[in-house]
Structure 1
């Protein structure tokens, strides 16, 4: 990596959690906390002032919550990566944060080992992205999947066919898991923000690997294939 130390900004309203986050981050080689903010609005100002490499972001905060904070970070095209550490465990919130580019999501309460894992994975990904060279599809897939515990790396994404990306697969999983009713490929495509033909490729793979169930639903006109997460009741 061209930069030896990763500068981290903590955006967290709870002083006790702030201190835990600070201690955990600074226990990992190559990371230092350069600032702390107690609200999303303060965090946005400090991103512009301090120019950190990485933000560790809470969701439940006064003034500006983490969802809106991350939305504004992306809207303003701030060149900073984000790891979420939050008590929020509902799939819709997790999906929104991942769709807005969070590179990892850690749920409270958490242990140092999980934070270290996230930071180590981030450091590896960042170092590879900073290499000024071309990459193969296999290398890109490895970078996107990261190590164990990262979003996009689990049994479901361990052996993706050529052309399928773990990040997109994870977004489709979260979208299906957040909906009780079966969805068509077109509805999945609209919900995730991809082309219908692309959604169908992922859904076909997920159906063959047992991650989703496919039901043929009849109505007016031709029957439609609908997909539901295999864990849904």
Structure 2
């Protein structure tokens, strides 16, 4: 499980971000810091893998916190969560190597995509001893070590990653489409479209369950 610190001066936003993080079983919120100075003190003294970082805060801005994290060579990743959509802040955040940059207001699904992007990169670093150019290109462009391919109209890369990664992280469990939709924060119609795409590619399997006591339903599972 990855330890997460949320850095946000707005208590309501901090609470929502914490709720979004805890929806994913791979993460645990270790601390919520209200300003940049408190965050830097905590990050320096504790083992943390991911920071959810706002830009505009009292005392020390999120960008300055990010700079100091890099200066200290702290081994952690950062997702920027902010209302700041000016090009200078975005350019600086990207230059300093953020995993993702979310502009408020954002949906739970988009937040989960950012978390999955982090998880995909961590998996790549842990699973691969050597990287090919293809691995690097795929990881930098989509947050995944998987091969980039031309997707058909109506299939978006990040949404496909979200559905696929959820099933991949639960390889021994069968899920209905409704259960998957609830877990990843997408509509059932959207999830069904992506499940059909993955079925056609042979990435997942689907088996009809007649033991529901009511209407039969399809159960989906990643192919190993």
TM range (shorter): 0.5 to 0.7
Which residue number corresponds to residue 101 of structure 1? 97
Which residue number corresponds to residue 44 of structure 1? 40
CA distance in 2, matches of 1:147, 1:76: 25
1:29 Cα deviation after fit: 2.5
Contact residue 34 and residue 50 of structure 1 kept, 8 A: no
1:81 Cα deviation after fit: 0.5
1:130 Cα deviation after fit: 2.0
Which residue of 17, 20, 24 corresponds with 1:21? 17
Structure 1: segments with no counterpart, 5+ residues: 149-154, 156-233
Number of corresponding residues: 145
1:64 aligns with 2:60: yes
CA distance in 1, matches of 2:102, 2:94: 12
1:117 aligns with 2:113: yes
**Pairwise mapping of residues 175-186 of structure 1 onto structure 2 (< 5 A)?**
none
SS at match of 1:32: strand
TM-score normalised by structure 1 residue count: 0.60
Which residue number corresponds to residue 6 of structure 1? 2
CA distance in 2, matches of 1:99, 1:143: 16
TM-score normalised by structure 2 residue count: 0.62
